[in-house]
Structure 1
């Protein structure tokens, strides 16, 4: 799924993102506002992972989200 779609449907995406990254707060999501780099940074902070690992997790989630939203 193209990140622009996620960004455009941020309210819907937030719920699905919270399921994946429960340590992120509502305040985190309000600050992220659909920005992928901001999401990666928050995942790094909250979960203590590297930037590459955060990006990998987002890519994996994005692939699953495409399947969930379009099937």
Structure 2
């Protein structure tokens, strides 16, 4: 990932994340609002992915 942070436009970031990982709920994502590391942790747990795999998918979607 190109170190893009889910900064001031969390809703846009959340929308992009949900396009890749549809099973993440708004509640789950809002729990980590603005915290990239915690968001990655949740994706990893829910989908059984490593940080590298998540980064690769994020890059594919230009997130």
If the TM-score is normalised by the length of the shorter chain, which range does it land in? Answer: 0.7 to 0.9
The TM-score normalised by the length of structure 1 is 0.66
Query: CA-to-partner distance for each residue in 1:9-64, whole Å, 9 max, x for gaps?
Result: 00222122211110111111111202211121111011111222122223333x2x
Report which of the two has the higher share of helix: 1
Q: Which consecutive unaligned segments of at least 5 residues does structure 2 have?
A: none
The TM-score normalised by the length of structure 2 is 0.72
Q: Which has the larger radius of gyration?
A: 1
Q: Which consecutive unaligned segments of at least 5 residues does structure 1 have?
A: 66-71
Taking the TM superposition and a 5 Å limit, the aligned residue runs for 1:1-71 are 3-4=4-5, 6-61=6-61, 63=62, 65=63
The higher relative CO (CA closer than 8 Å, separation ≥ 6) is in: 2
- In angstroms, what is the RMSD of aligned CA positions? 2.0
Question: 1:35 and 1:60 mapped to 2: Cα distance?
Answer: 21
Could you tell me which residue of structure 2 aligns to residue 69 of structure 1? Answer: none
